[in-house]
Chain A
Amino acid sequence: MKERRRPANSRRRFLLAAGGVAAVLAFEPADATVAEMSDAMRKVVGGAPVAKGRVTLELPPLVDNGNTVALTVRVDSPMTARDHVKTIHVFTEKNPQPNVATFRLGPRAGRASVATRIRLADTQTVVALCEMSDGTFCSGSADVVVTLAACLEEL
């Protein structure tokens, strides 16, 4: 390919254009929501301790497109009337808002496993916080790498 046949500033224009389009992405990474995520989690648990473990987040390590990321949350629980998962809250640290979803289940679920698809604005940690039938809490987390789409739509 002959470099000199390109107009001198064409590459720059492409890059500027690409940046401009980025402004209309579904989700822009926001700063400092790590603190907001802790606040949102504190609202759920109050002062109660949160044990690490029992909760598994299944997320692809590398994401094709942050608009649609497959997420499965599993909790290690017998799901009986006496011992089951009541609620699962999902949070992210770098989306514009920390809350992703709250799932309510109970012994009739038979299995504590929920799948959905979520939006991730950036490479970040996703946390699931789970409330058990005895009122205790546990949590799990997963890290996801999000790359940005190449050929973007012009709105």
Chain B
Amino acid sequence: MARALITVPASARHGEIIEIKAIVGHPMEPGFRRTQLGTLIPRDIVTQFACTYNGVEVFSADLYPAISANPYLAFFTVATESGTLVFNWIGDNGFSVTESAAIAVT
């Protein structure tokens, strides 16, 4: 499965509030489920997400098993300058995904 889908406007006016959407491919196995034979399926979730804008963190999140599979997050940030937004997800069993998107601010 693809690692992530990111939606960032390609360009924005200086000072404009822009919406950012991010989906990462992950089953979010909560760690409470049992198979029909009764064995517990171990937890395997994404635990942390962070978004930096030209190196400065603008949004971050701690995620728990109650977040749906293929975690979706949408949030806002002020378009301050042209540059790069970097998205990072970290989780159980060494899960780590990094994606980036460029934005041109006029």
Contacts and interface: CB of A to CB of B under 8 A. Distances in A.
A67 B34 contact: no
- Secondary structure of the B contact surface, majority rule: strand
Contact of A101 (B32, B61, B76, B80): B61
A109 B61 CA distance: 13
B75 interface: yes
B78 interface: yes
Contacts, number: 100
Contacts of A104: 59-61
Interface of B: 17, 30, 32-36, 53, 56, 58-69, 71-78, 80
Interface of A: 20, 23-28, 67-69, 92, 95-97, 99-106, 108-111, 113-120, 155
Give 10 nearest A-B pairs by CB, closest first: A110-B17, A115-B74, A117-B68, A110-B78, A111-B76, A102-B62, A100-B66, A99-B64, A68-B68, A108-B58
